[in-house]
Amino acid sequence: MSDRFLAPRTALVTGSTSGIGLAIACGLASAGAKIAVNGLGTPEQIDAALQAVRDAGADDVRHFGADLRDPEQIETMMADIDAWSPVDVLVNNAGIQHAVPLAEMPTQKWNDILAINLSAAFHSMRLAMPGMAARGYGRVVNIASVHGLVASVNKAPYVASKFGIVGLSKVAALEYAATGSRDSGGVTVNCICPGWVETALIEPQIEARRNGGTRDDGVRALVAEKQPSLRMSRPEDIASMVLWLCRREAHNVTGTSFPIDGGWTAQ
């Protein structure tokens, strides 16, 4: 799947200056898409992300800053991207988490997590999808989580936001299901629900569980409680699923949530 089947389409990936989002942006770039990068970071980190996307094959890549907690900033970002190149592929990847018991969860943390993880996706979808429908092709891929399918303690706002984005995606999928055609590719909306994914953020947790063993020993110890495969996914694995969902052959794959969780939700 290394062909440039997305040329000359445009993709917006939120939270794409690092981690899973950057891997997705690079994957879409390798398929020929122009990439709108959105995410936080120092100027140096943002420049490094843009260069990584260029190196992956993007003919054009730009950073669009927006605080995703603010609907007005999202509207401005979407208008700026539309003026540059209308969005054909929208990947809502940005997300935050704060893990404490329900009774101890700060109200502002609840508000911020729901705003970034759920409301921002609603705003980007409502602004991008009419244009997709008019052109007969569009792909919305919402990066939910295994916690959009099952719950864990101490993650009330995160779980609520991820269950919410799964429901939001189903509604949007139904509303746009008859848009376009098999030849044009149609407009689809799906979720990807990762379990444990290897990113820089979890390296300290892996190291803490090595107990003198190898890194793989640390990974197995970390994921053993939830993920029967005893191995994590890589960000590139998530990107590969996004790419497949963008293909024209996936025109009838919509309203679905795909766990990439090593059997977590099969239990």
Domains, the chain, ordered by start: 10-195+234-257 (3.40.50.720), 200-232 (no CATH)
Measured CA to CA, the distance from residue 192 to residue 246 in angstroms comes to 13
Strand duo 89-92 + 10-13: pairing: parallel
Q: Which of 23, 38, 89, 158 is catalytic?
A: 158
**pLDDT above 70: residue 232:** yes
158 is catalytic: yes
CA nearest to 146, candidates 64, 267, 34: 267
**pLDDT above 50: residue 1:** no
- Residues 172-187 have a mean pLDDT of 97
Per residue in 119-173, pLDDT (tens digit) is 999 999 999 999 999 999 999 999 999 999 999 999 999 999 999 999 999 999 9
Give the model's pLDDT for residue 202.
85
Question: Cβ neighbours of residue 96 under 8 Å, at least 6 residues apart?
Answer: 112, 113, 116, 117
Alpha carbon distances (Å) from 111 to 124, 149, 250: 18, 21, 35
Beta bridge partners of 191: 142, 257
β strands within 99-231, DSSP E: 137-143, 186-194
Per residue in 182-192, pLDDT (tens digit) is 999 999 999 99
Burial of 135 (0-12, 13-18, 19+ CB in 10 A): middle
CA nearest to 137, candidates 14, 10, 23: 10
Measured CA to CA, the distance from residue 213 to residue 234 in angstroms comes to 21
**pLDDT above 80: residue 2:** no
- Contact present, 72 and 66 (Cβ < 8 Å): no
Measured CA to CA, the distance from residue 40 to residue 15 in angstroms comes to 7
Per residue in 60-106, pLDDT (tens digit) is 999 999 999 999 999 999 999 999 999 999 999 999 999 999 999 99
Strand order in the sheet with 61-63: 61-63, 34-37, 10-13, 89-92, 137-143, 186-194, 257-260
β strands within the chain, DSSP E: 10-13, 34-37, 61-63, 89-92, 137-143, 186-194, 257-260
- Reported as a pLDDT band with limits 50, 70 and 90, residue 108 is very high
Percent of the chain with pLDDT over 90: 94
- Residues 21-28 have a mean pLDDT of 98
Whole-prediction pTM value? 0.96
